[in-house]
Structure 1
Amino acid sequence: MYSFVLPFLATCLLSPVSAAGVTGQAFGFGQATTGGGNAAPQTPSSLQELTNWITDNVPRVILIDREWNFIGTEGSTSRNCCSQPTTTQCPGGTSAGQAWIQDTCDGGTWIPCTYDNAAQTPLRVGSNKSIVGVGNRGVLRGKGLNISGQTNIIIQNIHITDLNPQYVWGGDAITLDTTDNVWIDHNKFSLIGRQMIVSGWNRAGHVTISNNEFDGITRWSVGCNGKHYWTLLLLGQEDWYTFSGNWLHDVSGRAPHMGTDFTRSTNYFHGVNNYFENVDGHAFDVATNTWVLLEGNYFDNVRTPMTDTSLTSGAQLYTTSTINAASTCLSPLGYICEWNRLGGSTGAWPDRTDQSVLNGFSSLRQYLIGHTPVADVPNNVRARAGVGKL
């Protein structure tokens, strides 16, 4: 019988060390990820050394034991940005909006803006890297990470923050494009100009996103509500995601968005025991070319747990909201799924049991992970998601 001990609990409680400097071992779709492997952990002594180590082609375990501040290191750009009446000027809103860094401004007006250049040029991470924060001290301020054309990368226990948060297109925290075997674990994302995690049009491959805190509290938001909209955008060409034990709070959209009809993509997404809290907008927004298995997720004060368009987009969904749906998992998957729960949410959770999802995941059973009871999710996730909680 399948073990129902969720890997993020084992990681936090047992703290096995699978590679130097890294706590725990990758699981789910990203289970083959070893990062820098047994390379000796190194602590950079300067911003330039940190940059060189992250971007070179040498297998490394890089320890982040302080705040590395990139703001101002590459200058700034002053130009005109687009101000939209509803997303920038925010009449009656509870926060300022976000102006748009772009070349067109249909329906809006141009306003002067100045943004930091460092957030616009993320560090391009080399293959076979482990980038690991020490305690709760590891911070990358004003600079994101781009995993493009490289593979086998672990990002653990890092706080990425302050990427031109007042501007849409101000910067993305983590980008995945033409890659494979990535584990993004126990990180925190806050004050990001655009996406906290985004995939490109090319293959993101096998990715596990686990135990992260997506903190949407902000002074600037396109929803004019003090909650960040651009949370996760996952639409690569051929992707498999394990999304487990994450805390998404005070956001308002794309939490996550997945799938596209722009390419003939194929995306599998297993979402287990995630906690969605204070979402003033939508959590799941699912487009076509996706097969999505959701179980044991808790929605607390979420306006729209799943968009209506997700049900008509062609997405294949298994939302596990009844005893029968949970039990039907047993034969194809080898275990009984955990139901998803609404706690104080105003929106409804759809009852969708597309058999194609179970059929597809039945051939991927080696990547499936266990779960804890959904009632335990709020306390478990708040205690363990984010930095300093390994």
Structure 2
Amino acid sequence: MKFSISLVLPLLRLAGLAWAGCQDNADGFAALNGGTTGGNGGTVVTVNNQADLEKYAKASGKYVIKVSGKINISPKGTEVDVANDKTIVGIGATAQISGGGFRIINRRNVIIRNLRIGNTDGGEELDWDGIQVDTSTNIWIDHCIFETIGDGGIDLRKDSDYWTVSNSWIKGVNKAFGIGWTDNVVTKGTIHHVYFDGTTQRNPSADNMLYAHMYNNYLRGCKSYGHYARGATNARIENVYFEDCKNPLTADSEATLTAIGNIYDGTSGTIAKDIGVSFDPANFYSYKLNATADVPSIVLANAGPKADVCT
């Protein structure tokens, strides 16, 4: 028996199945170590309030948690705990977590996508982050925007491993994106097509990473420093567009750095020279580089929440 697609699609929606990219899989280092699939294949729920978000985020088992509209978090600065095997994804381009963020501690296999996260200003001393990840593996952060953040936009700390941050926009945040807080050199991460927009420090600060792959990012107006290979980090930085940034590329003496194809447009201060020869990401996963001159337009068109990521 043949079915009309116009009849089948509404039935699938009524059945609660995820739709239009809600269950995409990660790329980069997050695609390794068994992959980062979040709640794919598990229960699909839609939430529009803090109580339901917290309930399903900490539940056991696989969940795809679709966020509808704006969720106001109270008390201000609360970071919602996220358990293993979860996808938290905004429906359309208007989903928002306001007044709080997410906390992923000693977890595995978590995806956070297509969300506006912030409005926690004033909380730097209280460690109010957009997304805080400690000692966790297989994390994918994609198509998010971080703005008006009290402390760190994204913190990936304490040996968190096999993660990717992609297609996201960090807007005017002081401590944009911190990595490390450990003497161990084990972390492997990919950062691509991320827009660092008028941020100050940690753009990112990649501390003691075994492998740091940064490509096709767009940094505009960074006020302190740009991409930083800190400590014993082994970094490959490719086709990144730096515009009006201070100290766009920095590396500690014990780091390994290979920088290829980057553009420095109106920058000032340090542009670190290569140190040794870095690892080759192509030995770990496939990826496609955009031409550096095209990066600003590509990133501006794609960074942050989009209507077609999860509908």
Residue 350 of structure 1: CA displacement? 2.6
Equivalent residues of 1:64, 1:137 under 8 A apart: no
1:90 alignment counterpart? none
Q: What's the counterpart of residue 276 of structure 1?
A: 219
Alpha-carbon distance between aligned partners in 2 of 1:45 and 1:124, rounded to the nearest angstrom: 17
How many angstroms does 1:272 deviate by?
A: 0.7
Which residue is 2:241 aligned to?
Answer: 298
What does residue 55 of structure 1 align with? 58
Residues 255 and 275 of structure 2 are in contact (CA less than 8 Å); yes or no, is this contact kept in structure 1? Answer: no
Counterpart of 1:244, as a letter, is H
Asked if 1:36 corresponds to 2:39, the answer is yes
Give the whole-Å Cα distance in 2 for the aligned partners of 1:20 and 1:240: 29
The match for 1:379 among 284, 297, 300 is 297
- Distance in 2 (CA, whole Å) between partners of 1:49 and 1:169 is 25
Deviation at 1:305, TM superposition (A): 0.1
Secondary structure of 1:126's partner? coil
Query: Would the aligned equivalents of 2:200 and 2:224 in 1 still touch at CA under 8 Å?
Result: yes
Match in the other structure for 1:130: 87
- Preserved contact between residue 48 and residue 69 of structure 2 (Cα < 8 Å): no
* Residue 193 of structure 2 is aligned to residue 245 of structure 1: yes
Question: Which of residues 159, 162, 169 in structure 2 aligns to 1:206?
Answer: 162
1:51-88 CA distances to partner (integer Å, 9 max, x unpaired)?
A: 11111212100111111001xx33xxxxxxxxxxxxxx
**1:161-186 deviation per Cα after TM superposition (whole angstroms, max 9, x unaligned):** 11134644350111111211111000
In the alignment, the residues of structure 2 paired with residue 168 and residue 215 of structure 1 have an alpha-carbon distance, to the nearest angstrom, of 20
Aligned-CA RMSD value: 1.9
Matched, 1:173 2:91: no
Q: Which residue of 2 aligns with 1:354?
A: 276
Between the aligned residues of both structures, percent identity stands at 26
Residue of structure 1 in register with 2:232 after alignment:
289
Equivalent residue letter for 1:298: Y
Q: How many angstroms apart in 2 are the aligned matches of 1:206 and 1:365?
A: 15
Residues 351/179 of structure 1: CA separation in 2 closer, same or farther (3 Å cut)? same
**Count of equivalent residues:** 284
Counterpart CA distance in 2 for 1:148 and 1:42 is 23
CA distance in 2, matches of 1:134, 1:194: 26
Q: Deviations for 1:72-112, whole angstroms, at most 9, x for unmatched residues? A: x33xxxxxxxxxxxxxxxxxxxxxxxxxxxxxxxxxxxxxx
Deviations 1:172-222 (A, max 9, x none): 111111211111000000011111111232x21100000000001xxxxxx
Q: What amino acid sits opposite 1:377 in the alignment?
A: V
- Aligned-partner Cα distance in 2 for 1:58–1:156: 19
Q: Structure 2 counterpart of 1:207, which letter?
A: W
The correspondence of residues 227-242 of structure 1 with structure 2, limited to 5 A, is 228-235=173-180, 237=184, 238-242=186-190
List 4+ stretches of structure 1 deviating above 4 A.
none
Q: Quick check: 1:148 aligned with 2:96? A: no
Structure 1 position 368, deviation (Å)? 4.7
How many angstroms does 1:344 deviate by?
A: 1.8
Kept after mapping to 2: 8 A contact 1:170/1:192 = no
Q: Deviations over 1:361-389 (max 9, x none)?
A: 37x71325220110100000000001126
Conservation of the 8 A alpha-carbon contact between 2:233 and 2:255: yes
Offset from partner CA, 1:221-271 (integer Å, 9 cap, x none): xxxxxxx321111015421111000000111111111115xxxxx531100
Judge conservation of contact 2:37–2:85 (CA < 8 Å) in 1: yes
Partners of 1:167 and 1:45 lie apart in 2 by 27
Call closer, same or farther: CA 1:45–1:256 in 2, change over 3 Å: closer
Residue 365 (structure 1) aligns with? 283
- Secondary structure, aligned partner of 2:187: strand
1:183/1:166 Cα in 2 relative to 1: closer, same or farther (>3 Å)? closer
The answer to whether structure 1 residue 341 and structure 2 residue 263 are counterparts is yes
Match of 1:27 in 2: 27
In the alignment, the residues of structure 2 paired with residue 167 and residue 354 of structure 1 have an alpha-carbon distance, to the nearest angstrom, of 37
Look up the match of 1:8: none
Task: Pick the structure with greater CA Rg.
Answer: 1
* Letter of the structure 1 residue corresponding to residue 228 of structure 2: D
**2:10 corresponding residue in structure 1:** none
What is the match of residue 219 of structure 1?
none
- Separation in 2, partners of 1:243, 1:46: 30
- What CA distance in whole angstroms lies between the structure 2 residues aligned with 1:351 and 1:47? 47
Code of the residue aligned with 2:91 in structure 1: it is V
SS in 1 for 2:257: strand
